């Protein structure tokens, strides 16, 4: 599904009018086009299913099974997303991904690219973790995947309660990360 920039331009003009401003005044004339171009960029992940993202970033290196016993952990991948409830920015989001390889390791930059592409959707923080874990399992062939996300939400910091210091932490654990408390504790210590 391609982003419909013409429809976005039209609706942004309508929103500008609805909030009481003139979309034809200096300063706002090009805003509908700027927003349409921005949405095309920040919602790029809407164009792909999780399976398509997995296919895009399935760049891995074969490893003997005897070498694949320890976790691979990428910490503090910075992503931005938009809350599907308010279309508000979820920002200062840091995604940490761990997995235990099965005969192959994924290129490290691919893990960051997966997290970035999943975040480029109207999302919930909880679903971002679930989507990343699904893609990681598919790409690596390993059921042993963990995703930890810490983020701020402007729907809490800039409106409503206006609590600027709150952070939301979500976890998605599968395989050994779900079943082995010692492994889970080790991972959580690495996240600090």
Question: Of the listed 83, 123, 152, 176, which one is catalytic?
Answer: 83
Q: Is 11 a catalytic residue?
A: no
Q: Is 153 a catalytic residue?
A: yes
Q: Is 83 a catalytic residue?
A: yes
Question: Of the listed 11, 40, 86, 184, which one is catalytic?
Answer: 86
Question: Of the listed 30, 52, 84, 126, which one is catalytic?
Answer: 84
Q: Is 152 a catalytic residue?
A: no
d(CA 115, CA 96): 9
Question: Of the listed 30, 65, 85, 126, which one is catalytic?
Answer: 85
CB neighbour list of residue 27: distance below 8 Å, 6 or more residues apart: none
Q: Is 62 a catalytic residue?
A: no
* 156: its two tokens: 């809490």
Question: Of the listed 123, 125, 152, 176, which one is catalytic?
Answer: 125
Name the CA radius of gyration of the chain, rounded. 19
Helices (H), 43-107: 50-56
* 98: its two tokens: 């761990």
Q: Is 84 a catalytic residue?
A: yes
Q: Which DSSP string do the residues of 120-164 spell out, in sequence order? A: SSEE-HHHHHHHHHHHHHHHH--S-EEEEEEEEEHHHHTSTT--T
Q: Is 143 a catalytic residue?
A: no
Question: Of the listed 123, 152, 153, 176, which one is catalytic?
Answer: 153
Question: Of the listed 11, 40, 68, 155, which one is catalytic?
Answer: 155
Catalytic residue numbers? 83-86, 125, 153, 155
């Amino acid at each position: 599904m391609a982003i419909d920039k013409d429809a976005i331009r039209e609706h942004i003009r309508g929103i500008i009018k609805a909030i009481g401003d003139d979309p034809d005044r200096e300063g706002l004339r090009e805003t509908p086009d700027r927003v349409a171009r921005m949405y095309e960029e920040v919602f790029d992940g809407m164009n792909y299913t999780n399976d398509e993202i997995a296919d895009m970033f399935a760049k891995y290196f074969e490893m003997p099974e005897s070498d694949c016993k320890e976790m691979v952990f990428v910490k503090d991948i910075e992503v931005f997303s938009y809350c599907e409830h308010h279309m508000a920015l979820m920002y200062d989001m840091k995604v940490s991904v761990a997995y235990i390889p099965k005969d192959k390791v994924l290129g490290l930059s691919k893990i960051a690219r997966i997290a970035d592409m999943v975040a480029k959707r109207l999302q919930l923080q909880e679903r971002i973790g679930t989507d990343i874990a699904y893609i990681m399992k598919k790409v690596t062939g390993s059921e042993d995947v963990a995703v930890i996300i810490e983020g701020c939400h402007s729907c809490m910091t800039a409106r409503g309660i206006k609590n600027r210091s709150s952070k939301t932490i979500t976890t998605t654990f599968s395989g050994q990360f779900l079943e082995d408390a010692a492994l889970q504790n080790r991972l959580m210590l690495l996240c600090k």
